[in-house]
Amino acid sequence: MKSYLLPEFLLDRDEDLCTQCGACVKQCSFGVHSFDEEKGKIVIHPEKCTGCQRCVIFCPVNALRVTSAPPAYRPNACWTGERIQDIKKQAENGRILLRGCGDDSPHRVYWDHILLNASQVTNPPIDPLREPMELKTFLGRRPDGIALEESQIGDFEVSKISTEVPPSLMIETPILFAAMSYGAISYPAFKSLAMAAEELGTLFNTGEGGLPKDLRRDYGKCAIVQIASGRFGVDLEYLNSGVAVEIKVGQGAKPGIGGHLPGEKVSPLVAATRMIPEGTDALSPAPHHDIYSIEDLSTLIHAIKEATNYEKPVSVKIAAVHNSAAIASGIVRAGADIIAIDGLRGGTGAAPKAIRENVGIPIELALAAVDDRLREEGIRQRCSIIASGGIRCSGDVIKAIALGADAVYIGSAALVAMGCTLCQSCYTGKCNWGICTQDPHLTKRLDPQRASQSLVNLVRAWSFEIKEMLGGMGINAIDSLKGNRDQLRGIGLQEWELDVLGIKGAGE
Amino acid sequence: MSKRRQNRRVRRVIKEKEIGACSIFGALNQAGERFGGEGVVRAIANMHDRSNGLGGGFAIYGLYPEYRDYYALHVMYENENQVAKEKAEAYIHKHFDVVHDEEIPNSGEPKAPNAPRTWRYFVAPSEKVDAFENEDYVVQKVIELNSTIKDACIFSSGKNMGVFKGVGYPEDIAEYFLLDKLYQGYLWTAHGRFPTNTPGSWTGAHPFNLLDRTVVHNGEISSYGTNRRHLEMYGYKCIANTDTEVLIYATDLLLRRQGLPMELATKILAPPVWEAIKNEKEKERHLLTTLRQVYAPLLMNGPFAIIIASHGEMIGLTDRIRLRPLTAATSGDMLYLSSEEASIRLISPKLDKVWTPNGGEPVVGKVTKRVKVKNEVLPLARVSA
């Protein structure tokens, strides 16, 4: 049946430059370019194009242009081209609309409405190239204070701490790689994150798909191992293979629903790692079926602590929703050492479009509310907060920390560093950049050496920028920016938004 | 604005912090012998140009030996608010037994406008509790009175010590409160203030005090927001709109409530950089790392030089990269701390030792002997014999 959908991208091939070499045909897994025997030349099928730009980059003679072409229906502010296309698509296939990557709808990005402070006169800015500038960060539960052994008080040389300080994670920069499972992303992409985390002195998160055995020895020390509702690849050895365990309750891109890794992506190694039969769909239920209440979560947290000999902090990841603050308080009281909050714009390999653009709240507001609530209850010290979901640059990182986060997770930004162009077609399993696919012809396109170096470069560059901004505020340790909302001002925000963020307006 | 709107607005009021340059000075007789304030006043006056007439003050230890067992509450009543005085006195009488009260003597001629009435009350908690809870009780009542009764402020609450402060140059304040004529102490600290972004206020002048601990501070605390929000979790209320307030609360939390030794507390307020910690021996590395991990929200970031005093002890400290000046000197039993060396030499030309401490390295002076003053033993509770 003839599809009534319009192509979303316009492809332009400069016939003068094109040598008919076939690179584009080979590069495009979606079949946009194909060789027409009859015409004796390469032809284009624009309706298949996702706008990933792979062919443009790899055309050896720069003969290709791919431009976004919003469907040219009669302009209508209400019935936009996107809405019309969605309706036509669903009329044709009767299915839920799927999308990869984070929410792209124009909800307000609060980071862009927050401005930072800098020192002038009364307080010297500090030059990070000449003075120490510290980004070292601890994650985990901290006691309210420490006690020293009585007999040795005052004798600094031998003062011994008698307070038991719970296990914590030490990272060199407050940026971690967000949970992206092996299965959702390719082996080389997964390994690149591990390699970069090791070199940077930070951590990556395995996501819910287990940790391949061959990576445990070298990269376990920089891994947070995640368990989600599907419990894929979880056994005692897995729980003990990383430095921390994260219970994933929710994800910002799709709060309240589970996950679905199609059987096509369950390759032999993915199957072995996840401990499921090859080629079967890996379904994560919406809830954890052993967590129907906060006391169940507490039981699971303590079961994990028991299984890991109380040596590893336990994190609980939730999606940012309306009552995140109260939920977070419960999570801390249930015994979690770290809370990860994933905002509305958090990435995903696949989410129903309806969920992605309609459910959850922005991370900025959720983060501020959670930090406030934990402080009101006097339990902020008992956990660390990792914020995630749409952290795009160093400015977002530093604003998140000033709002109250201890560190941030980056997912989409890390993928973009490796080559991703946010074409949102991750769920097809045909990622041309070799990131979100298990097709061996595609995964081999990603070289872990190069990709991990790109990740290292990105996080180093951001860390330099954070140091510059920190120094500008006259602060030489990231600790002194945590929750320091005095350093922030809002611009273009309404009163209630400033209230929730707990910041003043610019000029106030 | 609607009522609801106003209420919401209050929710996000973020405390202003005053910032500025300043002069600080401290003199401790390590034998515990009391001396008059003439030298200290001359020394701080010599740094006249470091302040701008918007704040000055002094703390004197060993001040009230005749009332040494009673908390001496110094209270300001601002804006000629007679109701404030009535309310505050009702509050004080409700929670304490007052053995004596009087107006704090003054010359009657303040140099600055809006001088509040200042009154002092010698009190004991009306509920008999043990010594530690006793102190907690006083702290709670001080914070409560200061945050609930408008125009009333307890600005000094220790035993056998007192703070005198206000708007004006420090020498004006000394003259107004007749300090060099009336009082003697074994430890004096002084402060001249140069606030830059808010008008000076009597309550906002230094020293800041809680129980017998005082802080005088030159600098700006860029970590103020972090420090304040952390301390609020432990029941402190920042009401003075100045960053120095977090120092007094942080030291109260660490030294009194958590019982850490001063040497360690200084490593929390101005910890060594990670690069330096890395090179320490195993045990110290562990200790310093744990301190930074646990107490990260109490790291005082930004330029500062401070003198922290309590009975029997005076500590000088600068921020860890030493962005504000501090000079230390000794002469016989005397230990001096000053923003400028010249002020020390002005009142004590012959010095045994003069040095400039490194960033984050505390200068610790302690009274080493118990001495008799007016046939009474000074209660130096915190001094190891």
Cα torsion at B82, B84, B85, B91 (round to 10°)?
150
Contact map slice: A 164-183 vs B, CB within 8 A: 165, 168
Q: Six-digit token pair at A153?
A: 């008080």
Q: Which of A154-168, A178-192, A393-407 has the least mean pLDDT?
A: A154-168
CATH number of the domain bearing residue B371: 3.60.20.10
Is residue B4 in some structural domain? no
pLDDT on residue B1: 39
Catalytic residue among B22, B45, B247, B277: B22
Residues A29/A430, Cβ–Cβ less than 8 Å: yes
Alpha-carbon span A216 to A242, nearest angstrom = 8
Contact predicate B379/B64, CB 8 Å: no
Q: Which of A120, A121, A123 to mutate to test the interface with B (most CBs of B within 10 A)?
A: A123
Whether B22 is a known active-site residue: answer yes
Rounded to whole angstroms, the Cα distance separating A52 from B311 reads 71
**Helix B262-269 crosses helix B244-251 at what angle (to 10 degrees)?**
140
Mean pLDDT of all residues in B310-319: 94
Q: Is residue B9 part of a domain?
A: no
* Distance (Å, whole) CA B121 – CA B252: 22
pLDDT at B340: 95
DSSP class of residue B272? P
How high is the pLDDT of residue A123?
86
Nearest to B302 among A143, A145, A474 (CB): A474
Q: Is the pLDDT of residue B241 over 90?
A: no
pLDDT at A148: 82
Residue B8 lies in a domain: no
The whole-angstrom separation of Cα B124 and Cα A500 is: 43
Across A391-461, where does the E strand assignment appear? 407-410
Please report whether residue B300 resides in a domain: yes
CA distance A192 to A454: 9
On whether the CB atoms of residues A245 and A239 are closer than 8 A, the answer is yes
B313 bridge partner residues = B310, B366
In chain A, residues 302-361 whose CB comes closer than 8 Å to chain B = none
Confidence of residue B372 (pLDDT cuts 50, 70, 90): very low
The angle at the Cα of A396, spanning A331 to A504, to the nearest 5 degrees, equals 85
Asked if pLDDT for residue B6 goes beyond 90, the answer is: no
Per-residue burial over B315-352, b = 16 or more CB atoms within 10 Å of its CB, e = otherwise: bbbbbbbbbbbbbbbbbebbbbbbbbbebbbbbbeeee
Over residues B349-373, mean pLDDT: 85
Mean per-residue pLDDT of chain A: 95
Q: What is the dihedral of CA A185, A186, A187, A189, to 10 degrees?
A: -70
Average of per-residue pLDDT across B286-303? 94
Q: What is the pLDDT of residue A151?
A: 52
CB nearest B273 (choices: A126, A132, A499): A132
Q: What is the pLDDT of residue B5?
A: 45
Give the model's pLDDT for residue B101: 95
Average pLDDT for residues A358-366, to the nearest whole number? Answer: 97
pLDDT at B2 exceeding the cut of 50: no
For residue B293, list chain A residues with Cβ-Cβ distance below 8 A. Answer: 138, 142, 165, 168
Give residues with Cβ within 8 angstroms of A161, minimum separation 6.
Answer: A146, A147, A148, A149, B286, B287, B290
Percent of chain B exceeding pLDDT 90 equals 71
Residue A149, number of CB atoms within 10 A of its CB: 12
pLDDT interval class at A504 (50, 70, 90): very high
The pLDDT, as a whole number, for residue B374 is: 41
Query: Residue A284 carries which DSSP code?
Result: E
Task: Name the pLDDT band for B370 (thresholds 50, 70, 90).
Answer: low
What separation in angstroms does the CA of A475 have from each of A135, B138, B303, B306?
11, 34, 9, 18
For the cut 50, the answer to whether the pLDDT of residue B3 exceeds it is no
Report the C-alpha gap between A188 and A445 in whole angstroms.
Answer: 9
pTM, two decimals, is 0.91
Rounded CA-CA distance A181/A194 in Å is 12
Q: Which of A30-34, A105-109, B361-365, B374-378 has the lowest mean pLDDT?
A: B374-378
Chain A's closest residue to B18, CA to CA, is A122
Interface test with B, best of A141, A484, A496, A501 (most B CBs within 10 A): A484
pLDDT in tens, A194-206: 999 999 999 999 9
Q: Please, are residues B204 and B167 in contact by the beta-carbon 8 Å criterion? A: no
**CB distance B220–A168 less than 8 Å?**
no
Tens-place pLDDT, residues A216-275:
999 999 999 999 999 999 999 999 999 999 999 999 999 999 999 999 899 999 999 999
The single residue listed with the structure tokens 């009975």 is B311
Distance between CA atoms of B112 and B168, rounded to whole angstroms? 6
Q: Which residues span the domain enclosing B238? A: 17-377
Q: Is A377 exposed, middle or buried (0-12, 13-18, 19+ CB in 10 A)?
A: middle
Q: What's the pLDDT score for residue A160?
A: 77
pLDDT of A406? 98
Average pLDDT over every residue of A64-79: 94
pLDDT greater than 80 at residue B196? no
Q: Is residue B109 one of the residues assigned to a domain?
A: yes
Q: Would B6 be classed as within a structural domain?
A: no
Mean pLDDT in residue range A149-174: 76
Mean pLDDT of all residues belonging to chain B: 88
Q: How many angstroms separate the first and last alpha carbons of chain B? A: 62
Domain presence at residue B271: yes
Residues 476-495 of A with CB under 8 A from B: 476-477, 479-487, 495
Return residues 256-285 of B near A (CB < 8 Å): 257-261, 263-264, 273-275, 283-284
Whether the ipTM is more than 0.90: the answer is no
Over pLDDT 90: what percentage of chain A?
Answer: 94
In a domain, B12, yes or no: no
pLDDT at A156 over 90: no
| List of domains in chain A | 9-95 (3.30.70.20), 137-505 (3.20.20.70)
Structure confidence by residue, pLDDT tens digits, B215-233: 999 988 999 999 999 999 9
Q: How many domains does chain B have?
A: 1
